[in-house]
Amino acid sequence: MATTGNPEPAVDGGFSVAPANAPRKRVLVTGAEGTIGTAVREFLADRFDLRALTRQPVSFASHVADIADLDAILPAFAGIDAVVHLAAASSVSSPWDEILPDNIVGTYNVFEAAARSGVSRVVYASSNHVIGMDEIDNAPALYELSDPRVFDEASEPRPDSLYGVSKLFGEALARYYVEQRGLTAVCLRIGTVRADDDARSLDVPEPLESLTPDQRRQRIRATWLSRRDCAELIAAAIDAPVRWAVAYGISNNPRQFWSLDGARRLLGFHPRDSAPR
């Protein structure tokens, strides 16, 4: 549902914060070679003991395995405190034959490997496309600075694609592993992160390709998440004293139709960057 107030967050509490002098957490990043994985490695290497899991050999140290193969990825989870799960078929237009092994089977394997290995926390890269139809139905008026509508974590799931469906599956799977397998999890519905950090890009997902150039600029003004803010959001999700949470991730943009209230209150996330007006 759309709201203009401050709804109750999707969260369970009851787990303590580590002391300030605790050793650095060992954090496994799946898909560490991607746009967000690169930002994590760039901005968070001095804060966490980062380990990488990639499908292909890369220029940095990594456990190479396909997340669709549980036995192959299991060794990477040994001794890990938290997993940041980024690996996925990441395009809204990804076909089912890519989504099934990567976003369905692979996501199950990551959570299962985490549970078997005694990992405490999984940070799952979900997506705004879990409620993507809310944007499609209300664009382009939704991008106007004067539009008061805000969608939050309580909004009804309305996936705009099979990709969005797969991310909703991942959120449900995360909740199952919290309730039944003893993990803690934070699901991040991430906005628009670009490798070049371009907050003026005209790129839009396939369902929005009919937007004019000006409407496209208005959209990214609302959905942009800088690489630095994205890394800080993930760091906050790794450390947040919550058992379960779902939160949106965008920068402190002039227009915000996805609520940052949950990310602020539950995770302590306060974005420093902002898309231009």
- Residue range 145-194, pLDDT digits in tens: 999 999 999 999 999 999 999 999 999 999 999 999 999 999 999 999 99
Where does the pLDDT of residue 23 fall: very low under 50, low under 70, confident under 90, or very high at 90 and above? Answer: confident
Rg over alpha carbons for the chain, rounded to the nearest Å, is 18
Give the number of other CB atoms < 10 A from CB of residue 8: 11
Amino acid code (one letter) for 105: V
When pLDDT is averaged across residues 71-100 and rounded to a whole number, the result is 97
Among candidate residues 108, 143, 163, 177, the one labeled active-site is: 163
Q: What is the mean pLDDT of the chain?
A: 93
Give the number of other CB atoms < 10 A from CB of residue 155: 19
When pLDDT is averaged across residues 242-265 and rounded to a whole number, the result is 98
Residue % of the chain over a pLDDT of 90: 91
The reply to whether 163 belongs to the active site is yes
Strand partners, 2: 151
pTM of the model: 0.92
68: tokens are 């669709």
Where does the pLDDT of residue 2 fall: very low under 50, low under 70, confident under 90, or very high at 90 and above? Answer: very low
Among 13-17, 26-30, 33-37, 168-172, which stretch is predicted with the lowest mean pLDDT?
Answer: 13-17
CATH architecture of the domain with range 2-131+150-198+225-265: 3-Layer(aba) Sandwich (3.40)
Whole-number pLDDT of residue 277: 85
DSSP codes, 209-255: TTS-HHHHHHHHHHHB--HHHHHHHHHHHHH-S-SEEEEEE--S-S-
